[in-house]
């Protein structure tokens, strides 16, 4: 699959060093970390920090240099000093292009093409079986005269396994999907939460009761404007990162405001991949597809991945802008091919038989005044197996989380809840269904605030019912 634009290959001679030289480099890498230049560390620095670093190395003509130019200049200068014997190491996620070669992309740049990407020759791609989404770590050579990119001279690890003995996994499309049967509990102690908010823990506890999530869930958060979907996503992210360190959490922000991206990066302990509203539609599509490919490679290894996607509506709009016209326009000006591609991406969420899962929790926008948005929601409504509905009327009354209790729910929830808890949830739903939406959420918020956790809440409910 071609994700990026065509890039010009650079001529790279694959390293065939003597065993002694390889041993020396491995010794330097393992025992002398001060002699290792890590490109990932340089990328994580700000442009100002890199400029200060370049000045300390007495480099000249730094005015007007971009961050990528500074990284290349610093790395070239460090390895050019024959007395230091420094080596360049880096990690990145591979993107294999149609021409046969590949590049290691960096999450710092949202996996978009950059000057300091690392070139992988076609021979290395074939020999190591590299695919788009593979995480690669290895020794890197600085660009020579006339070359444009860093080049991978020796791959040490692929997907956290030795490159020389990298396992081959069953392709994601051949894995058997099952209903989610392992719960993802969002309830956690407030002391473990980075955000200090009165209802910070309540949103997770309410979701655990009315729309429980499991590993491999395909969930939709259906939200009207200004109903608190961003805060709800943050709370879900905090809960997952606090409760499940084994889950790789990716927050995928499509067509979002730049300040919201910054806020999400600083407030959530997760990998944030974004494409802001000032980027073209093809960038939105590229970033989303690349994140999904990376997640698939992790799932093939038996790992668990959760993607929080905000939003499916904007992603479908981006697909509608970039896909070739099929001549089949639906209501609102949506091309049928655009919806099919967006559905394929959302449909990647699944619980895998034998281990591994990909969970996607996406937001869908409604009541925006756009006929296109309404159609996108209607098309996606039947594809998810869990729905969390946010109500603007509740948000206007400052009732947060503004979850519509009666309309939210999960298919096959009996696989995620114990039988005793499931019976209590059904009793609670019968009670709440007799109330208005506002009274129902007020009732459950009031009762949950009186208890420390959901277990204590259900014990409290038992006493009330028995009395």
Residues of each annotated binding site for ATP:
214-219, 226-231, 257
Rounded CA separation 71/79 (Å):
13
DSSP element (H, E) containing 240: helix 229-243
Torsions phi, psi for 49 (to 5 deg): -65, -40
**134 near 164, Cβ under 8 Å?**
no
**25 near 135, Cβ under 8 Å?**
no
User: 266-271: which pairs have CB atoms within 8 A and are 24 or more residues apart?
Assistant: 267/194, 267/195, 267/234, 268/194, 268/234, 268/237, 268/238, 268/241, 269/194, 269/237, 269/238, 269/241, 270/237, 270/241, 270/308, 271/107
What does the block give as tokens for 214? 């499991």
Cα-Cα end-to-end distance for the chain = 63
Cβ atoms within 10 Å, residue 324: 8
Instruction: List the binding residues.
Output: 214-219, 226-231, 257
**203 near 239, Cβ under 8 Å?**
no
Rounded CA separation 454/451 (Å):
7
Rounded CA separation 350/180 (Å):
8
Evaluate the omega torsion of the peptide bond into residue 401 and state whether it is cis, within 30 degrees of 0. Answer: yes
CA distances, 15 to each of 18, 56, 72, 124, 357 (Å): 9, 32, 20, 11, 38
């Amino acid at each position: 699959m071609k994700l990026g634009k065509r890039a010009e290959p650079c001529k790279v001679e694959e390293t065939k060093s003597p065993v002694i030289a390889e041993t020396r480099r491995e010794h330097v890498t393992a025992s002398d970390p001060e002699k290792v230049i890590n490109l990932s560390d340089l990328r994580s620095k700000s442009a100002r920090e890199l400029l200060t670093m370049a000045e300390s190395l007495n480099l000249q003509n730094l005015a007007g240099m971009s961050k990528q130019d500074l990284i290349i200049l610093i790395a070239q200068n460090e390895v050019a000093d024959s007395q230091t014997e420094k080596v360049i190491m880096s990690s990145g996620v591979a993107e294999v292009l149609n021409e046969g070669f590949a590049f290691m992309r960096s999450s710092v740049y949202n996996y978009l093409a950059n000057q300091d990407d690392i070139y992988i020759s076609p021979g290395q791609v074939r020999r190591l079986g590299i695919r788009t989404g593979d995480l690669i770590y290895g020794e890197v050579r600085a660009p020579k005269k006339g070359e444009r990119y860093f080049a991978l001279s020796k791959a040490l690890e692929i997907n956290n396994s030795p490159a020389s003995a990298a396992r081959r996994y069953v392709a994601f499309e051949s894995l058997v999907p099952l209903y989610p049967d392992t719960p993802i509990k969002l309830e956690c102690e407030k002391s473990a939460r980075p955000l200090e908010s009165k209802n910070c823990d309540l949103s997770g506890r309410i979701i655990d009761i009315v729309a429980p999530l499991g590993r491999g869930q395909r969930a939709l958060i259906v939200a009207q404007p200004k109903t608190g979907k961003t805060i709800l996503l943050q709370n879900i992210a905090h809960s997952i990162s606090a409760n499940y360190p084994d889950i790789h959490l990716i927050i995928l922000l499509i067509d979002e405001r730049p300040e919201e991206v910054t806020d999400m990066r600083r407030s959530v302990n997760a990998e944030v991949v974004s494409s802001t509203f000032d980027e073209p539609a093809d960038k939105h599509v590229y970033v989303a597809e690349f994140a999904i490919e990376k997640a698939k490679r992790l799932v093939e290894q038996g790992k668990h991945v959760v993607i929080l996607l905000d939003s499916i509506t904007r992603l479908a709009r981006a697909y509608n802008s970039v896909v070739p016209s099929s001549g089949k326009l639906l209501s609102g000006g949506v091309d049928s091919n655009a919806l099919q591609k967006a559905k394929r991406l959302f449909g990647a969420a699944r619980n895998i038989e034998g281990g591994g899962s990909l969970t996607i929790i996406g937001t869908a926008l409604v009541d925006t005044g756009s006929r296109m948005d309404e159609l996108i929601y209607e098309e996606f409504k039947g594809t998810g197996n869990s729905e969390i509905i946010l109500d603007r009327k509740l948000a206007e009354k400052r009732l947060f989380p503004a979850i519509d209790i009666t309309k939210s729910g999960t298919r096959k929830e009996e696989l995620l809840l114990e039988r005793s808890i499931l019976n209590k949830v059904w009793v609670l739903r019968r009670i709440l269904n007799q109330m208005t939406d506002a009274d129902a959420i007020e009732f459950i918020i009031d009762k949950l605030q009186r208890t420390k956790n959901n277990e204590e809440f259900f014990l409290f409910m038992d006493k009330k019912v028995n009395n």
